Structure 1
Amino acid sequence: MKKPFTGFCFSLLACVAMPIHAIQLTGITEIHDPATIQKEENTYWTFSTSNGIDSRYSTDLIDWKFNGPTFPEGTWPNWINKYVKNFKGHFWAPDVVKMNGKYYLYYSAFATTDSSFESAIGVAVSDSLNTPKWRDLGMVVSSKTEPYSPYKLPTNTIDPGVFKDANDNVWMIYGSHYSGLFVAQIDPTTGKRMNNIRYPVAGNNGKWHELEAGQIQYINGYYYLFANLGDCCAGTKSTYYVVAGKSDKPTGPFLDKNGVDLYNGGGTTVLKTKGRYIGPGHFGYFNNNGQHLVSIHYYDGTTDKGIPRLDLLQMSFTNDWPKFTRNFTLQKSSNTVMTSIEGRVAIVSRLSGKVLDVEGGSKADNADIIQWTYDNRANQHFDLKSLGNGYYSIRASHSGKAVEVEQQSTVAGADIRQGTWTGGTHQQWKLIDVGAGFYNIVSRHSNLALDVFNFSTENGGDIRQWTHLNGINQQFQLKYVP
């Protein structure tokens, strides 16, 4: 396990390190299909498969409390009766995302019919999770409105997984057995689909398949698709396991380690039964101030029937492929900020208070790196990733391109640009802690430091490399962004 880094506490108060051991969640942990964890103020929330869509909350990610259903049991939005006529109020596999300052809860309704099934995904919205007032917005997608596959199989419209791409566009992966898993773009102003276009991303080329519980996340310049295979919902006899693929685009294709498209039956196994943790499933990703956390459910092998429980793991990457551990440290300050050296950050100049910015939001090679007032744009966010050799790649989140020294120069004053990742030493950077939460960022190639040129405090001030002097114009704070 990588040694946790403790330098990014955004508080003048000291960090407190918890000892490394297997994380054991407490409280009301019985759950199935936990939604992606969301944080509002100092409280973490998740939702689950249940009558009425139950929720649970925690103030420390460890001890969980029950908060009851979103919809009063025995009631549900009236539109469901039209699209899922035999529905009885048991909602499946919700997911929650924050858009435009509001929380959108996506949920599945499913029921069998005499000859087949009917299913649909709906969405509700609330201004708050801590003090929720849910307002249903209606149907997003349904089995009645989705086209059949070329092999005459319907789309099982369940298991919504909502995510944002590198440019903060919102997408939803959905689907299950039958014709496949699909991605559609979501309009963040309505919570509904942007259009009727859908992209097939996982399955068996339109034939029957068993993938379900899809989630996609953009991490370190790649889109990772996680989904489940095997049998769920059978307690200790469950055979659920998680497979993954990755892509350069939110719409795929997603390839496994062997280069096989997940839509053509591919999928690299990344998480499976281990000891008491039987049938792990329903992946959810939570970027906890740079620390890659994953929520799942598992069936507890220490209980007679295999009670489904919430689990929390830490995810890291080797050669761009995920691995997981339950033995990890939560670095806490008194305001419950947890830290890690990897993750998505804004890089803030100590001199000017402005952030590194890819000029004009360009995605092209050789686009200039400048400083600009922070306004939460994707071209002001960078993904830090350890290369395992003491150096890091720094990739612009909107383009996936790497911060690099122009033309591999070793001359002081050479410009800093973005370029396609090659792994060259001109794209590798050392982070040197200079105290008070600030860092020098030094090129492996030239041994020169990132520098706000000519001590500029203006928007558009150029970022270059210069002799490493640890001046205030060479000191940067790394502020994690979700």
Structure 2
Amino acid sequence: MREFSTFRALSAGRFLGALRRGWVFLLLLTLCSSAPAWAIRGAVGAHDPSNIIKDGNKYWVFTTGVGIPSLYSTDMLNWTAAPRPVFTAATKPSWIATKVPGFVDTYWAPECIYMNGKFYLYYSCSTFGSKVSGIGLATNVTLDPTSPNYNWVDEGEVISSNNNSAANAIDPAVYRDAANNLWFTYGSFFGGIRILQLDPATGKPLANATQFAVANGGVEAAYVKQHGSYYYLFINRGNCCQGSNSTYYIQVGRSTSPSGPFLDKNGVNLNNNGGSVVLSTSGRYVGPGHAGVFEENGVSYFSHHYYDLDNGGAAKLDVAKLTWDAAGWPVVSRNWLTPGRYTISNPTSSLLWTSAGCNSAVGQGVLQNPGSGQPCQQWDLTLIGEATYQLSTVDGAVAVGTRNCSSATGTPLQLESSSGSVCQEFQLERASDGSFVFGFFNRVVEAAGGSGSAGTALQLGLYNPASPAQRWTTTATGPLASAAGQRLVGVSIYPVPAQGQGFTVALGSQPTAEATVVEVYDVRGQRVHRQPFDKQLAKLVVTTALRPGVYLVRVSRSSGTFTQKISIQ
């Protein structure tokens, strides 16, 4: 497993089996206590996700866990655990007992591809603190456990390693080159990343295949994606599997050859500790890892897991947007919509969000009505955090929220004086059909009663992937802002260490025309303080009542975020 193997490698010689069992128990616990169907930001319990793969009208992801669990979705927003894993204790592949003695039932970092009329599922088996590992293969003609044709066939060992091997046989990934040759990457901290060629008829290594060393150091979770004339090798470095304290991050290098060498933006070989950062901890999204790329209808999706700082460091699946810059390097963002002025319409009824009374009076509701071209049907979307927006009227006087900040089902939207508070924050998620869902706390925006009629009020409801009344499309009506940065530069916090009653955030050269939100999290990943600040402030006096200890401070603006650990005396 990619992330678990990092934890193992970092603790080689002193890792306790009890810690392994404890982490697996925590993973299973989060699976069992995952959020209900209205959750639209990832799936609790998803660790080491495979690349997204589609079978029929369902998207599938396989994850680390007992028997190899899987998740499926019809829209890439609402993920559901499959009814049973790939393997049971009775169907555990027989080759494992010989090559990986002591392995129990927790398989790591699976990967799935489709070829030869069936699905090929690669998986890892290992033992902590050693290179006694193996990668196996199973095939199936369908991924749907409810199908009468569902049957995983054990195809045996792909590659294995022992304590004398050059590399550790975990973390499989498969890709094709421009000539349609099949390639395979694997490896971890123990010996780095290796690449070799596979036989497309069997999905196993070609006889006497050359193994290319392509990344060294504290590296794992390799994945290769071809784009244009380059092959891009994504890797992970840092520490995983420690919840909110994880330091995992994703790097990339590229090569004109499918077997490397892969160089970063500065020309440094990944096999010489090189790598350009693609995705790292930002705000609530801690320790991203295990990259995958899925493409459909001209859109590239970047799948990975992260640890949710807003949910005690629980591991979750995330699906972000992948684009490419002018120099051909990957850019990953969770912000599917560029800030700017838009109309918001329902793709089924074509009705637009409209302020009731067509004015900006505080307390007015928000309705859906036919397009009229009036300003009351245009909304300024301001990015105030990753995938989080404020929706304001064109005059900027008021923003969309709910009365008394209620998130109860059935609560109508209404206009409120713009305050920059959490009560005016909406999370935008893109569905696979290109529509958006507007999340508000643990609810989503919908037309009341699921109506497609003009004049219907917009309200909050539980997420229902089958409801067209909860889907919205956007049309730009003016120039859009440039993409927001990932990290604020020049921000500082003082004094250090801070006192329990508060501290000061200095924004440095950051523009004063943006509102700011400061949040404080404890070591469990629980938010213990949140304080919004108006525009025009360069120094923010944060007033708290914190006990002595270590905390994480997150500063969020529309242009990016800044995080720093502080000590409270």
Short-chain TM bin = 0.5 to 0.7
> Are 1:103 and 1:126, in contact at CA under 8 Å, matched by a contact in 2?
yes
User: Among 315, 319, 323, which residue is 1:316 paired with?
Assistant: 323
Q: CA deviation at 1:329?
A: 5.7
Equivalent position of 1:64 in the other structure: 79
Q: Residues 166 and 210 of structure 1: is their aligned pair in 2 closer, same or farther, counting only changes over 3 Å?
A: same
Query: Which amino acid is the alignment partner of residue 273 of structure 2?
Result: G
Equivalent position of 2:110 in the other structure: 94
Query: Which amino acid is the alignment partner of residue 78 of structure 1?
Result: S
Q: Does 1:295 align with 2:303?
A: yes
Matches within 5 A, 1:78-89: 78-89=94-105
- Ranges in structure 1 where 5+ consecutive residues have no aligned partner: 1-23, 149-153, 341-482
Secondary structure of the residue that 2:257 maps to in structure 1? coil
Q: Does 1:128 align with 2:146?
A: no
Q: Does 1:178 align with 2:190?
A: yes
Q: Does 1:53 align with 2:71?
A: no
Query: Which amino acid is the alignment partner of residue 315 of structure 2?
Result: P
Q: CA deviation at 1:259?
A: 0.6
Q: CA deviation at 1:265?
A: 1.2
1:422-468 C-alpha deviation (Å, 9 max, x unpaired): xxxxxxxxxxxxxxxxxxxxxxxxxxxxxxxxxxxxxxxxxxxxxxx
Distance in 1, Cα, partners of 2:434 & 2:316: 26
Q: Residues 147 and 261 of structure 1: is their aligned pair in 2 closer, same or farther, counting only changes over 3 Å?
A: farther
> Are 2:131 and 2:167, in contact at CA under 8 Å, matched by a contact in 1?
no
Equivalent position of 2:126 in the other structure: 110
Secondary structure of the residue that 1:96 maps to in structure 2? strand
Larger fraction in helix: 2
Distance in 2, Cα, partners of 1:32 & 1:274: 18
Equivalent position of 1:39 in the other structure: 54
Q: CA deviation at 1:147?
A: 7.1
Alignment RMSD (CA, Å) = 2.6
Q: Residues 118 and 332 of structure 1: is their aligned pair in 2 closer, same or farther, counting only changes over 3 Å?
A: farther
Matches within 5 A, 1:268-347: 268-304=276-312, 306-318=313-325, 319-328=327-336, 338=433
Q: Residues 337 and 237 of structure 1: is their aligned pair in 2 closer, same or farther, counting only changes over 3 Å?
A: closer
User: Among 247, 250, 254, which residue is 1:246 paired with?
Assistant: 254
Query: Which amino acid is the alignment partner of residue 66 of structure 1?
Result: A
Deviates more, 1:126-135 or 1:220-229: 126-135
Secondary structure of the residue that 1:302 maps to in structure 2? helix
Distance in 1, Cα, partners of 2:347 & 2:319: 20
Query: Which amino acid is the alignment partner of residue 140 of structure 1?
Result: V
User: Among 195, 204, 210, which residue is 2:207 paired with?
Assistant: 195
Distance in 1, Cα, partners of 2:321 & 2:246: 23
Q: CA deviation at 1:124?
A: 0.3
Query: Which amino acid is the alignment partner of residue 81 of structure 2?
Result: F
Q: CA deviation at 1:203?
A: 3.0
Q: Does 1:166 align with 2:178?
A: yes
Distance in 2, Cα, partners of 1:257 & 1:133: 45
Secondary structure of the residue that 1:32 maps to in structure 2? coil
Q: Residues 323 and 279 of structure 1: is their aligned pair in 2 closer, same or farther, counting only changes over 3 Å?
A: same
Distance in 2, Cα, partners of 1:333 & 1:73: 47
Equivalent position of 1:265 in the other structure: 273
Q: Does 1:215 align with 2:223?
A: yes
> Are 1:202 and 1:211, in contact at CA under 8 Å, matched by a contact in 2?
no
Distance in 1, Cα, partners of 2:77 & 2:160: 36
Distance in 2, Cα, partners of 1:70 & 1:262: 34
Query: Which amino acid is the alignment partner of residue 246 of structure 1?
Result: R
Distance in 2, Cα, partners of 1:284 & 1:217: 8
Q: CA deviation at 1:76?
A: 1.5
Q: Percentage identity across aligned positions?
A: 43
Which structure would you say has the larger Rg? 2
1:208-240 C-alpha deviation (Å, 9 max, x unpaired): x21000000111221000000000000000000
> Are 1:247 and 1:255, in contact at CA under 8 Å, matched by a contact in 2?
yes
User: Among 161, 171, 185, which residue is 1:143 paired with?
Assistant: 161
Distance in 1, Cα, partners of 2:57 & 2:314: 29
Distance in 2, Cα, partners of 1:332 & 1:196: 57
Secondary structure of the residue that 2:265 maps to in structure 1? coil
Q: CA deviation at 1:62?
A: 0.6
Query: Which amino acid is the alignment partner of residue 223 of structure 2?
Result: Q
1:230-283 C-alpha deviation (Å, 9 max, x unpaired): 000000000000010001111001000111111111111111000000000000
Distance in 1, Cα, partners of 2:177 & 2:270: 19
> Are 1:127 and 1:133, in contact at CA under 8 Å, matched by a contact in 2?
yes
Distance in 2, Cα, partners of 1:55 & 1:40: 13
User: Among 133, 153, 159, which residue is 1:119 paired with?
Assistant: 133
Q: CA deviation at 1:27?
A: 7.3
> Are 1:52 and 1:75, in contact at CA under 8 Å, matched by a contact in 2?
no
Q: CA deviation at 1:72?
A: 1.3
TM-score, structure 1 normalization = 0.60
Distance in 2, Cα, partners of 1:303 & 1:96: 29
1:51-89 C-alpha deviation (Å, 9 max, x unpaired): 100011000011000013100157510100110001011
For this pair of structures, how many residues does the alignment match?
Answer: 304
Query: Which amino acid is the alignment partner of residue 320 of structure 2?
Result: L
Distance in 1, Cα, partners of 2:40 & 2:331: 20
> Are 1:203 and 1:210, in contact at CA under 8 Å, matched by a contact in 2?
no
> Are 2:113 and 2:120, in contact at CA under 8 Å, matched by a contact in 1?
yes
Distance in 1, Cα, partners of 2:194 & 2:303: 22
Q: Residues 329 and 71 of structure 1: is their aligned pair in 2 closer, same or farther, counting only changes over 3 Å?
A: farther
User: Among 218, 233, 243, which residue is 1:225 paired with?
Assistant: 233
Distance in 2, Cα, partners of 1:140 & 1:243: 27
> Are 1:51 and 1:73, in contact at CA under 8 Å, matched by a contact in 2?
no
Q: CA deviation at 1:313?
A: 0.5
> Are 2:308 and 2:316, in contact at CA under 8 Å, matched by a contact in 1?
yes
Query: Which amino acid is the alignment partner of residue 212 of structure 1?
Result: E
> Are 2:42 and 2:319, in contact at CA under 8 Å, matched by a contact in 1?
no
Distance in 1, Cα, partners of 2:234 & 2:128: 27
1:121-153 C-alpha deviation (Å, 9 max, x unpaired): 000000111233110100000004x974xxxxx
1:263-305 C-alpha deviation (Å, 9 max, x unpaired): 111111111000000000000110122211110000010122x
Secondary structure of the residue that 2:324 maps to in structure 1? strand
Q: Residues 26 and 329 of structure 1: is their aligned pair in 2 closer, same or farther, counting only changes over 3 Å?
A: same
Equivalent position of 1:467 in the other structure: none
> Are 1:288 and 1:338, in contact at CA under 8 Å, matched by a contact in 2?
no
> Are 1:185 and 1:195, in contact at CA under 8 Å, matched by a contact in 2?
no
Distance in 1, Cα, partners of 2:71 & 2:230: 30
Q: Residues 273 and 74 of structure 1: is their aligned pair in 2 closer, same or farther, counting only changes over 3 Å?
A: farther
